[in-house]
Chain A
Amino acid sequence: GQSLEQPSEVTAVEGAIVQMNCTYQTSGFYGLSWYQQHDGGAPTFLSYNALDGLEETGRFSSFLSRSDSYGYLLLQELQMKDSASYFCAGGFNNAGNMLTFGGGTRLMVKP
């Protein structure tokens, strides 16, 4: 099947580091993407991992382990504006073009 599991909420303080996990079922898996969504806004793309390892883009890093069917998004130097929901999405059928989203993790950054 195609499902991705994420913790529903995480709270962290400004300036800290937070890791948000995503586990998935492997049938037809191509790669893992991450999207950010602020309240009332549209999801926006953050990163993509096709291969095992760490991808870094500024304060954001994303990690994938295919053998563990697991990935995470790491946010460093947290800012208040990082408060949002973060969704992992797996590329499955249709050559990986069919994206299935996890339920999302709501991140609350406190001063």
Chain B
Amino acid sequence: SYVLTQPPSVSVAPGQTARITCGGNNFGTKSGHWYQQKPGQAPVLVVYDDSDRPSEIPDRFSGSNSGNTATLTISRVEAGDEADYYCQVWDTTSDHPVLFGGGTRLTVL
């Protein structure tokens, strides 16, 4: 079955750029989506269809997808960006169409 692999943790200093990856076989042929989850809160969609952003999400959040890896990039990281981030894909041909990555904890140093 299809598996999405994320690094368990990423650390970055304020003002720097954080990159969180999500690996999967031929990920580039699928659309990747990203969610931010702060402690005790529901996930929030931050990037969809690889690189689109909901209107309320700052443009510091961006996404890309190529080859076997999708990447969420957070520019000019702020303390408030500290959270867990999950990638997700939807394979319409699969018996298990919706998959989430294991999540990455972003720590702002």
A, B in one complex: no
B interface residue numbers (CB < 8 A to A): none
A interface residue numbers (CB < 8 A to B): none
